[in-house]
A = this chain, B = another copy of it.
Amino acid sequence: MHLLMTELFPICRSITGDGVTQTLNIIKKDIPISIHKTSTGTKVFDWEVPKEWNINEAYIKNSQGQKIIDFAKSNLHVLNYSVPVDKSVTLGDLKEYLFSLPEHPDWIPYRTSYYKEDWGFCITHNQFQKLGEDVYDVYIDSSLKDGHLTYAEYCIPGEIPDEVLISTRICHPSMCNDNLSGICVATYLAKELRRKKLRYSYRFLFIPGTIGAITWLSINESKIKHIKYGLIVSLLGGEGGFTYKRSRQGNTEIDQVAEAVLKAKSTSSKILDFSPYGDDERQFCSPGFNLPVGSLMRTPFGEYQEYHTSADNLDFVTPQALEASFQLLRDMINMIEVNKKYVNLNPKCEPNLGKRGLYNLTGGDWGGRDFQLALLWVLNLSDGKHSLLDICKASGIDYESISKAASRLLEHQLLAEHHEETFNSSIFSL
């Protein structure tokens, strides 16, 4: 994953443009994503697909002709979505177009202006402080033209049409944790899942933030009824324990799975309630969709210093952190795959487990019969209302034992899967 990240790092991505296409073409070497393009001006709910932005070159030269700031050195130097500029300005005028971070004088900040035509340069505060009175040439060779918004989708069909949605943002330029980490972990997860026999269908989205999610939802409204579990993955490569942010509904199956896996597998994780700020859960959990979509990350955005700066680089993200994130997602998916509701086919009184070899037949001695207890709990609560996770919670027994008990009972035809209608539908209509 870190190698893929290293390959993707130099590309200048934005919410549209060639950087996105280059990125998706590299991902396509690992997994057979389908790439979709939506034209500038397409109405997507309350929004319009914006003009496509591309950039070749940009710099600030001093009066001696020296390039003191150069896009070629870091694509963060240019305010993302800057319009073309080619003029001479005084220091005083220039300063209004400069962004720097006094508290981190070596770092370049990351700034965008997608929806207001503007230009600017992001520079280190050391660079800022060296600027003397002078006349500067500012040059940005960018274009903002009718074109496309590009995103990719990869669907792995499972036994049932119910879907697990995994979505990650592809719009950030050269920064690793935010969000090459999400891209790389999602890619490798898809790569692994395509080789497996799966119960659920899995849909991976590689989309630009906000407008990408809005565009996808607008085009794919008919698909969302299949989304039974959803997860935004981002910020998976930095330091810090895992953070899971609940869906708007707050207690859907994805929330239960995430909380159970974090509790079992992670020592210092945090669970946050939903809030309508953050990543694309803002769109998936808008009241008209209210999908069961949570968000998995490590340290949340805004809570680590390197966030949205040039310091979020290939050193900041470690292969170990990526690997641990990958493992955690794998554990969540394992649980999603088996966390079902069952019905006890002998609901009246206990079935005779002894005659099926499932029960210690010398009675009277009460010892640590944990597995027998797991069998009894699964039988007792399998009334079509309790998932295996619910049974874990009620019994205090670990998921492995409960799910093994369910398997044994299925083999003996004492349980059957409970089928219910997929529960998603817009909770809100005007």
Contact = CB atoms under 8 A, between A and B. Distances in A.
Contacts of A44: 349
Given A277-B373, A344-B287, A349-B214, A116 B354 contact: yes
B347 A430 contact: yes
A262 interface: no
A261 interface: no
Given A347-B287, A348-B289, A349-B214, A115 B380 contact: no
A275 interface: yes
A283 interface: yes
B288 A347 contact: yes
A383 B427 CA distance: 9
A112 B283 contact: no
Interface string A374-407: 0011011111100000000001000000000000
B286 A349 contact: yes
A204 interface: no
Interface stretch (A29-37, A237-245, A313-321, A363-371): A363-371
A231 interface: no
B217 A364 contact: no
Interface string A24-52: 00000000000000000000111100000
A19 to B, nearest CB: 16
Interface in A337-365: 343-352, 354-355, 361-365
Interface in A81-116: 109-116
A308 interface: yes
A339 to B, nearest CB: 19
A301 interface: yes
Nearest to A48: B352
Contacts of A109: 364-365
A221 B115 CA distance: 58
Interface in A44-62: 44-47
A347 B379 CA distance: 42
Interface residues of A, number: 70
B113 A349 contact: no
A118 interface: yes
A276 interface: yes
A118 B277 CA distance: 67
A82 to B, nearest CB: 11
A47 B352 contact: yes
A177 interface: no
A112 B362 contact: yes
A364 B45 contact: no
The residue in A307, A345, A428 that gathers the most chain B C-beta atoms within 10 A of its C-beta is A428
A2 interface: no
A380 B289 CA distance: 10
A-B complex: 3 closest residue pairs judged by Cβ atoms: A288-B347, A288-B348, A276-B380
6 contacts: A46-B352, A113-B362, A115-B352, A277-B376, A287-B347, A345-B430
Interface of A: 44-47, 79-80, 109-116, 118, 210, 213-214, 217-218, 221, 248, 275-277, 282-283, 285-290, 301-302, 307-308, 343-352, 354-355, 361-366, 373, 376-377, 379-384, 395, 426-430
Given A213-B349, A287-B344, A344-B428, 18 more contacts: A45-B349, A46-B350, A46-B352, A109-B364, A113-B363, A114-B361, A276-B381, A282-B376, A283-B349, A287-B383, A288-B347, A302-B366, A343-B428, A343-B430, A347-B426, A347-B429, A348-B426, A383-B427
